[in-house]
Structure 1
Amino acid sequence: MDEVRKGFEELLAEKQIVLSERQWNQFEIYFRELVSWNEKMNLTGITEREQVYIKHFYDSLSLSFFVPMSEVVTLADIGSGAGFPSIPLKIVYPHLRVTIIDSLNKRIQFLDHLVKSLELEHVQCIHGRAEDLARKAELRDSFDLVTARAVARMNVLNEFCLPFVKASGLFAAMKGSDPDEELQEAVFSLKQLRGETKSVFRFELPVEQSTRHIILIHKTGSTPAKYPRKAGTPLKQPLV
């Protein structure tokens, strides 16, 4: 067994995750497609195999260490980029029904190709701005779990993501550095968007020992009609 596979599987075994041969092959295809497409377009600055497995795949799966995925059916990934965290989660938890939203059509083309290459079912990739798509009845207040990984500060991210979460659902923001300051900034936006901070988890990414944080926000009710504001406004005028 090669060292990257051995290390990855040992780390997952510590979290009671055991990959089938098919799942391992899907991760390998994912790695190859990511590196191949990255030569044509900017998907990631990380292309070395072990680094991809730790900094992208394991980091994406870390969400499942804190959220019981067996209780999640529908997942939306906002600003997914190259498919993180939703595609690694879908590989390991194939029951998930995944919707990926990204504003760059080239990335959606990559993701559509990836979904076919990995033979994944119940994954839809949608090109568009979160602020526009959250107005669509079939997406608004609809998902058990909504994720975003390193997309924006919390007072902006709340307006991008919470409108997709169903009442009583969860929004999980995946962050690097300590989010305390961002959470203080985000108090007003949470109140406006019917969100309530449930937990903040801190952990170290293995091998390189860099710090990660996962913020879990509980959705307390339906999104007020005035949110999200029109595309571009949340970034220019965050709710404070």
Structure 2
Amino acid sequence: MTNDYSQMIKDFSSFGIELTDKQLDQFDKYYQLLIKWNEVMNLTAITEFNDVCKLHFVDSVSGCKFFDFSKEEFSLVDIGTGAGFPGIPLKIIFPQLHITLLDSLNKRLNFLNEVIDQLGLNESGSIKTLHGRAEDYCLAKEGSLRETFDIAVSRAVANMSTLSEYCLPYVKVGGSFIAYKSEKAQEELKDAKGAIHLLGGKLVSADEFLLPDSDVSRTICIVEKKENTSKKYPRKAGVPSKQPLK
């Protein structure tokens, strides 16, 4: 390993996570692959080593401050996973999770499939990639993934109303939708209150915090699925982002 992971080790330790040699090796391979593939396709604007560690790897796992991912073999779908955040770092830290990485761009999934292979993440067949828009697999009658997951996560940039319409239909009643927001999200959450209720959810927490040893502000929003989502949602592809629910 040519990079110095001492700061990342310290950051994870602040979450109560002590990284194993295997996990460090997996993060190192992930970083190398991210930089290599980023030269030929747009995966991330963040490429400097320390920034990737803090703003991608540590950030992706920061949800564990407010939700216990280690408790069970949860099924988890990462909506709009992009370069694999937060799904891949969560899988590295919590290998018992059954993870589906959903993205609309096949080229990104080719990258993720290589990451999964090179990091040895699929030894138990518990991580897979899925090509499509968020709306696709909840609208399709055959092979629908509607309300089949314990957890949906997303670190996408959409507003909370739109994200809720993308994610809550995938969550089974009693499960949780966890949104990673980059800034203080109180105003956004206020605007999304009606949408969350309409989709069968209830906001149970929205915790603001700083990433370890930084001034980078984050908010983790946890929505519990209380009732089945009406079959009216999600609406057709493109509509949730153009006309967010009120």
Structure-1-length-normalised TM-score: 0.96
Q: 2:165 and 2:16 mapped to 1: Cα distance? A: 34
Q: Using the TM superposition, give the Cα deviation of residue 120 of structure 1 relative to its aligned residue in structure 2, in angstroms.
A: 0.8
Corresponding residue for residue 150 of structure 1: 156
Corresponding residue for residue 133 of structure 2: 129
How far 1:71 sits from its partner (Å)? 2.8
Instruction: Tell me the number of residue pairs that the alignment of Structure 1 and Structure 2 aligns.
Output: 240
In the alignment, the residues of structure 2 paired with residue 70 and residue 206 of structure 1 have an alpha-carbon distance, to the nearest angstrom, of: 21
Q: Contact 2:14/2:212 (CA < 8 Å) preserved in 1?
A: no
Q: How far 1:100 moved relative to its partner?
A: 0.7
Which string of whole-angstrom CA distances, capped at 9 and with x for unpartnered residues, describes residues 98-127 of structure 1? 001111111111111111111112111111
Matched with 1:99 is: 100
3-state DSSP class of the match of 1:173?
Answer: strand
Query: Are 1:153 and 1:182, in contact at CA under 8 Å, matched by a contact in 2?
Result: yes
Paired position in structure 2 for 1:239: 245
Counterpart mapping for 1:52-201 below 5 A: 52-72=52-72, 73-121=74-122, 122-136=126-140, 137-201=143-207
Whether the 8 Å contact between 2:15 and 2:64 is mirrored in structure 1 is: no
Q: Alignment partner of 1:159: what SS?
A: helix
Is contact 2:11–2:213 with CA below 8 Å preserved after alignment?
A: no
Query: Which has the larger displacement, 23-32 or 230-239?
Result: 230-239
24-33 vs 4-13, greater mean Cα deviation = 4-13
Match of 2:222 among 212, 216, 221: 216
Q: Residues of 1 paired with 2:151 and 2:49: CA distance?
A: 29
* Unpaired segments ≥5 residues, structure 2: none
**Letter aligned with residue 172 of structure 1:** I
Cα distance in 1 between the residues matched to 2:190 and 2:15? 31
Q: Which amino acid aligns with 2:62?
A: S
Structure 1 residue runs of 5 or longer lacking an equivalent are none
Alpha-carbon deviation of 1:151?
2.8
Aligned 8 A contact 1:90 1:96 in 2: yes
The residue that corresponds to 1:229 in the other structure is 235
**Which residue of the partner structure matches residue 27 of structure 1?**
27
**One-letter code aligned to 1:127:** H
Runs of 4+ in 1 over 4 A off after TM superposition: none
Deviation at 1:2, TM superposition (A): 7.3
CA distance in 1, matches of 2:109, 2:2: 32
Q: Distance in 1 between matches of 2:104 and 2:213?
A: 32
Residue type of the partner of 1:43? Answer: L
SS in structure 1 of the partner of residue 172 of structure 2: strand
**Contact 1:79 1:151 (8 Å CA) reproduced:** no
Cα RMSD, aligned residues only? 1.5
> Which TM-score applies when normalising by structure 2?
0.93
The CA deviation string for residues 168-189 of structure 1, in whole angstroms up to 9 with x for no partner, is: 1010110111111111211221
- What percent of counterpart residues are identical? 44
